[in-house]
């Protein structure tokens, strides 16, 4: 009986350990030393709606791809050999003619990487849209739920990162994000933790479009906002839609951040007077751009009591399940 119990315990232990490990590992290398030479081929090769996590290791190189991870591909972890040397890039922008269809790209079809599947994790990868000052040009467009970007570079100009889709939950840890105008925008619930955010022009960092029934929009923990030389007039955000929610907590703001902090996006006739419904707030901002006394009257400085609800567990609760991002 004791031996049977030991065998059963060993069996369940093996099952538990195996459940934590990828059931398949793939290598991508441009020099043909791996399983595939393109990232798209590697993604396509995985089982549709597969039984567990697949790890795709990407060797150093510049991958000129327009990568799509569709809804039926999930639980994929893409890991670069080196953050600065694994580069996925493309140059589509709004207004450019698609050579395949003959139609113009829009903001929403311009992305270098489109993530539609759930439980996708990027680590140690640079994603770049090479177009600048030609129109909206998205580097990363995420629609899936429970998305993680860890130690990644997101590079572009206008509209670098599109955090799309109501109900989508996205976690960005120790990432570098750069752009010019509204370069973090969209509807999703997102946490940015320990990220460096660089403005390349006098404009706006965020443009949230938080749905009215969504408790959280963008929450930045311990981030640093910096700017290109000569950039000296940048707003923390402006509301793309009327119920935009954006909060900076314990973040360091460079002197390029204007004293008012936030812009109401006036002149939008379809969505007027957004400042009446938008929720913008800070808690203990630091640096030369921190100026709580001069912020616009319709923004907020969080109290310690209000701060309590801003935990990752609380922010990512809901959608019929709670989620705690795993950055192993």
Q: Give the C-alpha distances (Å, rounded to integers) separating 197 from 214, 225, 229, 238.
A: 24, 5, 14, 16
Q: From CA 144, how far away is CA 127, in angstroms rounded?
A: 17
Q: From CA 134, how far away is CA 93, in angstroms rounded?
A: 7
Q: From CA 170, how far away is CA 231, in angstroms rounded?
A: 29
Question: Residues 167, 186: contact at Cβ < 8 Å?
Answer: no
Phi then psi dihedrals of residue 262, to 5 deg: -130, 155
Phi then psi dihedrals of residue 50, to 5 deg: -65, 170
Neighbours of 126 (CB within 10 A): 21
Among the listed residues 159, 222, 263, 268, the single catalytic one is 159
CA count, 13 A, side-chain hemisphere, 67: 28
Angle of CA points 264, 242, 111, to nearest 5°:
90
Does residue 232 carry a catalytic annotation?
no
Does residue 263 carry a catalytic annotation?
no
Among the listed residues 92, 145, 182, 263, the single catalytic one is 182
Q: What is the CA radius of gyration of the chain?
A: 21
Which tokens in the block code for residue 91? 């140059």
CA count, 13 A, side-chain hemisphere, 147: 30
Q: Which residues are catalytic?
A: 159, 182
């Amino acid at each position: 009986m004791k031996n049977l119990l030991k065998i059963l315990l060993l069996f369940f232990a093996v099952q538990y350990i195996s459940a934590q490990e990828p059931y398949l590992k793939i290598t991508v290398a441009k020099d043909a030393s791996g399983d595939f030479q393109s990232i798209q081929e590697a993604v396509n090769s995985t089982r549709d709606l597969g039984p567990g996590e697949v790890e795709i290791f990407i060797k150093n190189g510049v991958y000129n791809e327009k990568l799509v991870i569709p809804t039926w591909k999930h639980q994929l972890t893409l890991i670069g050999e080196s953050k600065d040397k694994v580069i996925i890039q493309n140059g589509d922008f709004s207004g450019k003619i698609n050579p395949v269809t003959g139609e113009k790209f829009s903001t929403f079809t311009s992305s270098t990487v489109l993530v539609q599947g759930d439980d996708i994790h990027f680590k140690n990868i640079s994603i770049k849209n090479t177009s600048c000052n030609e129109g909206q040009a998205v580097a990363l467009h995420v629609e899936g739920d429970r998305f993680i970007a860890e130690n990644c570079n997101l590079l572009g100009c206008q509209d670098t990162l599109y955090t799309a889709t109501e109900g989508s939950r996205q976690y960005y840890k120790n990432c570098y994000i750069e752009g010019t105008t509204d370069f973090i925008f969209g509807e999703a619930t997102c946490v940015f933790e320990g990220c460096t955010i660089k403005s390349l022009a006098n404009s706006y960092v965020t443009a949230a479009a938080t749905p009215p029934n969504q408790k959280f929009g963008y929450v930045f923990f311990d981030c640093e906002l910096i700017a290109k030389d000569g950039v000296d007039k940048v707003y923390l955000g402006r509301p793309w839609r009327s119920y935009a929610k954006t909060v900076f907590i314990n973040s360091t703001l460079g002197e390029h951040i204007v004293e008012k902090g936030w812009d109401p996006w006036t002149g939008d006739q379809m969505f007027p007077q957004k400042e009446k419904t938008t929720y913008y707030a800070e808690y203990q901002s630091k640096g030369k751009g921190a100026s709580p006394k001069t912020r616009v009257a319709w923004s907020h400085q969080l109290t310690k009591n209000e701060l309590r609800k801003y935990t990752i567990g609380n922010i990512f609760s809901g959608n019929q399940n709670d989620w705690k991002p795993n950055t192993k």
